[in-house]
Chains A and B, each alone.
Chain A
């Protein structure tokens, strides 16, 4: 579809060049569920169960936020007020390393540009196996309740 509108640049098709993280995010836990009464099983969920999907607030998170806030250079921001372009370059460029960490997406790290690389996928699988087992048993319990 040739979209010539002003907003066309905002539209992305992750099936093509997008990140696997996007694809996973949009697919995972979505879609019709057929009830267990009709002999359905879900396979392959283990690797996809990523604890980072739940944004957990913890002491660790709080400390990282606090440190990031304390590192902020408010003076620099004041100087650049009214200069959006400069601000833009500050936020997306040099200053990024300073505050790295507090809002970091764990999933981006896990899946960053890996697409379809079997070795890496397998490694991820083993790393997440223990966590996934927990999840699997939890979802089974849920099925039982329903």
Chain B
């Protein structure tokens, strides 16, 4: 195997005092064992992969599993899915050693905290009913377009759709705001993640002390009641702090 066939996949960073997981298979078709590459203070969780595209469902699951395992035992700084380096030496000398202080500081900040992702999916029927009920302009245009053949109402239909779309955006803003307001007090930080599906109404990641996870979960039913039936709220977690690693490292000093 030549050097270029084979790279080191990096999952994340943990304190060097942590022991590598036993018997955990990594990403890639080979599922090579997960191990650590350590500098004095921090350790990278890695496994060997052949230089072939990843991205199968299994790979994503493996990436997830490794970090999930790590966060159960210590603070962990997840790296972006698909990060590989040339060799263990590169991981140590180019990544860990020059960034040791920053990585240590970031890990210390994440100690004892987990991510909880609050996601709300709109129920289309209930949402649209509410839009028609609360937006007079939508109601008027709806009545008008219903009276004429669809082809004749083409531009009105587009306008109607635009109005509905804008109303849904307002609902998103409102519902996201309410979620952050009600749950923010139970969290250390929050981060509004992008909406990745059309039915997504709320997608907020919270960084929560482990000891407050129960209290956080307990606040959800009431919040669901407050938001009403147009949205179905759920909370994914506890997770590694995927949305709270925005201080990227290795940037040139002038960036």
Interfacial residues, chain A to chain B (CB-CB below 8 A): 1, 3, 5-8, 10-15, 18, 20-35, 37-48, 52-55, 57, 59, 61-70, 72, 74, 77, 84, 87-88, 90-92, 95-96, 98-99, 102-108, 111, 114-118, 121, 125, 146
Measured CB to CB, the closest approach of chain A to B215, in angstroms, equals 8
Contacts of A106 in B (CB 8 A): 197-198
Which of chain A's residues have a CB closer than 8 A to the CB of B83?
A: 31, 33-34, 40, 42
Interface size class, chain B: 35 or more
A69 to B157, CA, bound (A): 10
Nearest 5 CB-CB pairings of A with B: A62-B161, A44-B54, A105-B197, A7-B217, A47-B55
User: Do A7 and B220 touch across chains, with their CB atoms under 8 A apart?
Assistant: yes
Q: A22 to B236, Cβ gap below 8 A?
A: yes
Chain A facing B: main interface SS = helix
B245 touches A32 (CB 8 A): yes
CA distance A116 to B27 in the complex (A): 12
Given A7-B221, A64-B161, A74-B129, A104–B57 Cβ distance below 8 Å? no
Residues of B within 8 A of A53 (CB): 194, 196
- Verify if B134 is at the interface (C-beta below 8 Å from A): no
Contacts of A67 in B (CB 8 A): 157
Which chain A positions have C-beta within 8 A of B168?
65
Q: Is A30 in contact with B61, judged by CB distance below 8 angstroms?
A: no
B216-A7 in contact (CB<8A): yes
Report B58-85 CB contacts with A as 1/0, cut-off 8 Å.
Answer: 1111011100100000000111111111
Complex: A111 Cα to B61 Cα, angstroms: 13
B94 in contact with A52 (CB, 8 Å): no
Q: Please tell me if B138 contacts chain A, counting CB pairs below 8 Å.
A: yes
B233 at interface, CB cutoff 8 A? yes
B195: Cβ under 8 A from any A Cβ: yes
B146 within 8 A of partner (CB): yes
